Amino acid sequence: MASKTINFLKTSNYDFDNILDSYVSINSGDTQTVASTLTFSGINTHTAINSAPVTLTPAANVTLTKADNSGRLNLIPSVATGGGKDNYKLPVAAAAGETYEFAWSGVAADADNIQFQATTANAITFTGGLLDFDTDATDASGYVIVFPGGDDDLLLLTNPQAFCIRFVATTTTNYHVSGYAMSTDTASAFGDL
pLDDT at residue 46, rounded to an integer: 47
For 131, half-sphere exposure in the C-beta direction (CA atoms, 13 angstrom radius) is 9
| d(C-alpha 161, C-alpha 109), whole Å | 4
Q: What is the pLDDT of residues 63-112, one digit of tens each?
A: 999 999 999 999 998 776 666 788 999 999 999 999 999 999 988 777 78
Q: What is the pLDDT of residues 42-66, one digit of tens each?
A: 554 545 467 889 999 888 889 999 9
Helix (H) or strand (E) holding 68: helix 66-69
**pLDDT at 164 > cutoff 80:** yes
Task: Tell me, yes or no, if the pTM score tops 0.85.
Answer: no
Q: Are 124 and 171 in contact (CB under 8 A)?
A: no
Residue type, 184: T
Q: Which of 149, 28, 40, 155 is nearest to 97 (CA)?
A: 40
Q: Which of 60, 52, 95 is nearest to 79 (CA)?
A: 60
Residue ranges of domains in the chain: 1-43, 54-191
